[in-house]
Structure 1
Amino acid sequence: MNAEFIEALNSICEEKGIPKDTMFEAIEAALVSAYKKNYGTSQNVKIVMDRETGDVKVYAQKTVVEEVYNDLLEISLEEARKINKKYQIGDIVDIEVTPKNFGRIAAQNAKQVVIQRIREAERNVIYEEFLAKETEVVTGIVTKVDKKNVLINLGRVEAILSPAEQIPGETFAPGDRVKVYIVEVKKTTKGPQILISRSHPGLVKRLFELESPEIQQGIVEIRSIAREAGSRTKMAVFSRDENVDPVGACVGYKGARVQAVVNELKGEKIDIVKWSSKPQEFIMNALSPAKALSIEILDEKEKVARVIVPDYQLSLAIGKEGQNARLAAKLTGWKIDIKSESMVKS
């Protein structure tokens, strides 16, 4: 190895953001293994690569002792002081033992280490980039539809949209642009693994943040979301400014903002209600579009409430297959027992 190699190595380190010392230390560690493999020695060896010239030297490390029992690992005080008079018992002496043809072996191993480190650095850059995007929405391009799995190109990495994370009934074709929610970023031996979703409630939240300046500015806050992907979502919103209607900020002029989100979710229905710190008021809002006559808190600790609705509103309050009641319970965190007016009287 020579100065040209060092120059190239420095350029690679700078371009890929790899600390030079980290790269040199990795090469030196690999060369120790290569030396022991090729020369079958049980010596303690140290390998030093000159940071300027690229010259590689191998040193046998021996401990200074009064009496030598193992000449591979030990050196007498008398012999050590022939090298340097300052050596004391217990010191480590470096004795150069560089083989004549070691340069060729060193070059091969150094090349392998550099390639490996570049790969690791690139993986780490991608990992850090997407870790910063965890719980965010990104746009990708569908590259392949394999049975039920959808492969999506996110730029520097591809991710699989599994059936469980898809919106039921949604179809994809190569070339489609699609927004996905980054659920989690994992570091694996094969590189970063990006877990993405289109069925996660977080997708709805982030889509509304993109549409509503009031949410971006922190004036309006999304307090909770209950979602059954592909069918219906309920979202509770709160305004920090009494002059700003939180529901209106999400719906937009002539429903433009909510419609943009609905279109992205392929027609999923979205109910936007006002959040309230008062349980009765919040439960009443959550059951929208149904109207309750009264709400009774049965157990505040266990969060159990009974809701009385007019007879003609019972099916609306419960919803198709119980969906409205189920989503309202999930949105509020309360167990909701819905009764009609005639049921209570009887």
Structure 2
Amino acid sequence: MNKELMEALDMLEKEKNISKDTLLEAIENSLLTACKNHFGKADNVKVNINPVTGDFSVYAEKEVSETVEDDLLQISLAEAKMIDPKYDLGDIVQIPIKSKEFGRIATQNAKNVILQKIREEERKVLYNEYYNMEKDVVTGIVQRYLGKNISINLGRVDAILNETEQVKGEVFKPTERIKLYILEVKDTPKGPRISVSRTHPDLVKRLFESEVAEVKDGTVEIRAIAREAGSRTKIAVSSNDENVDPVGACVGINGARVNSIVNELRGEKIDIINWDDNPAYLIENALSPAKVICVVADEDEKEAQVIVPDYQLSLAIGKEGQNARLAARLTGYKIDIKSETQARELGLFEELGLEGQVENEESYGEEAYEDYQSDNEDNYQEEYQE
């Protein structure tokens, strides 16, 4: 019997990740509950359980009294001496209790105490496990649609992907495996409630950490990230090692590293730029792939004036303003973009003290446009004119 008990405890410990000591404590409490239901009180009842063999004993401590007023707490001197002649008035006698004599109701209550403790501990273990994974990425299996929400199996518990955290246009099939960012883990009476996301910017960050070794070990640092889920993400990276190119490390050979992340995000475009402590250079990099003539940044007001060649204006702004919007989020600056012609008409070159520092408009535009056409025309047509 005791061997079977210990085997059952070992199995529970392995499957549910609940410590054997906790389970033994639950058994002890269940025996005390059974005693209370059987006798009406259990204040003087003690339970001893051997954690190695599983042997247990239940006994009641009774005081030797000349007059017995409560036979649950006291024992007469004559009865005590029948157990052991050494007992005297005032001594405490341990009287064994046979748990087999407990009634059906007491036994059922004891069983319920054990089951309740197991459920509580299982819930606590699951909560702690997934709470430690909060703000991290996990792989989940799509189960079914619950209205506009999606039920995701994370292994030992289910999570809910709310409609607001879904990327517009993404459709999943049951049993499909997807990457998710754990937003929050709440402890509830029914177990941990886990909220996950496919739209959070940190999903991209965590994917880079898992895919790029230099990001994971801290050699390359992701300094800022701006995302419009399902469409485009911009990330700014820097290197803590002068021998490591941060952008190259994130892109990988032939784009292998970034492409695996793009595939996981269902084709979402990712722009990786170099971080620069100088806000003007950072804004110039953030507006990539557009070419920039000049940037004047006001660090106090967090505003920047950007001038681009005429033919680059639509590229700098992006489709529906997306490129400029993401650049503003990435840098934290309010960016005002003007074409070269607009800037000259408004007298911005003179106002900003840049007249004479910029090349002749016609020669600059013609030269740059030829280079741009040869290198980037296909990319421009595909990404910005669709």
In the alignment, structure 1 residue 3 sits paired with structure 2 residue 25 = no
Q: Which moved more, 1:239-248 or 1:43-52?
A: 43-52
Partner of residue 382, structure 2: none
Partner of residue 331, structure 1: 330
- Mark the runs of 5 or more structure 1 residues left unpaired by the alignment: none
Displacement of 1:198:
1.2
Superposed counterparts of 1:203-282, under 5 Å = 203-282=203-282
CA distance in 2, matches of 1:14, 1:206: 32
What residue identity is the alignment partner of 1:345?
G
Partner of residue 308, structure 1: 306
Structure 1 residues 105 and 58: alpha-carbon distance in aligned structure 2, compared to 1, 3 A threshold: farther
Contact between 1:43 and 1:61, CA under 8 Å: does it hold in 2?
A: no
Partner of residue 198, structure 1: 198
* Alignment TM-score, normalising by the size of structure 1: 0.78
Query: What are the superposed Cα offsets for residues 197-247 of structure 1, whole Å, 9 maximum, x if unpaired?
Result: 211112212222343333244332211111110121110011222232221
CA distance in 2, matches of 1:150, 1:268: 21
Partner of residue 296, structure 1: 296
Displacement of 1:272:
1.0
Partner of residue 319, structure 1: 318
Partner of residue 23, structure 1: 23
In the alignment, structure 1 residue 48 sits paired with structure 2 residue 38 = no
* Alignment TM-score, normalising by the size of structure 2: 0.71
CA distance in 2, matches of 1:294, 1:207: 34
Displacement of 1:54:
4.9
What residue identity is the alignment partner of 2:332?
G
Query: What are the superposed Cα offsets for residues 140-159 of structure 1, whole Å, 9 maximum, x if unpaired?
Result: 22221233222222222222
CA distance in 2, matches of 1:167, 1:61: 69
Partner of residue 347, structure 2: 345
Query: What are the superposed Cα offsets for residues 163-201 of structure 1, whole Å, 9 maximum, x if unpaired?
Result: 112111101111222222233333332223332221111
CA distance in 2, matches of 1:275, 1:32: 65
Partner of residue 158, structure 1: 158
Query: What are the superposed Cα offsets for residues 45-104 of structure 1, whole Å, 9 maximum, x if unpaired?
Result: 434154357555353678x99xx9x9699879x99x99966969xxx9877777883275
Contact between 1:27 and 1:109, CA under 8 Å: does it hold in 2?
A: no
Moved over 6 A (4+): 72-76, 92-100
Partner of residue 60, structure 2: 59
Superposed counterparts of 1:128-207, under 5 Å = 128-207=128-207
What residue identity is the alignment partner of 1:327?
L
Structure 1 residues 264 and 7: alpha-carbon distance in aligned structure 2, compared to 1, 3 A threshold: closer
What residue identity is the alignment partner of 1:292?
V
The total of aligned residue pairs comes to 337
SS of residue matched to 1:178 = strand
Superposed counterparts of 1:105-124, under 5 Å = 107-124=107-124
Q: Percent identity?
A: 51
Structure 1 residues 299 and 110: alpha-carbon distance in aligned structure 2, compared to 1, 3 A threshold: same
What residue identity is the alignment partner of 1:59?
A
SS of residue matched to 1:218 = coil
- Mark the runs of 5 or more structure 2 residues left unpaired by the alignment: 349-386
Structure 1 residues 245 and 4: alpha-carbon distance in aligned structure 2, compared to 1, 3 A threshold: closer
What residue identity is the alignment partner of 1:188?
T
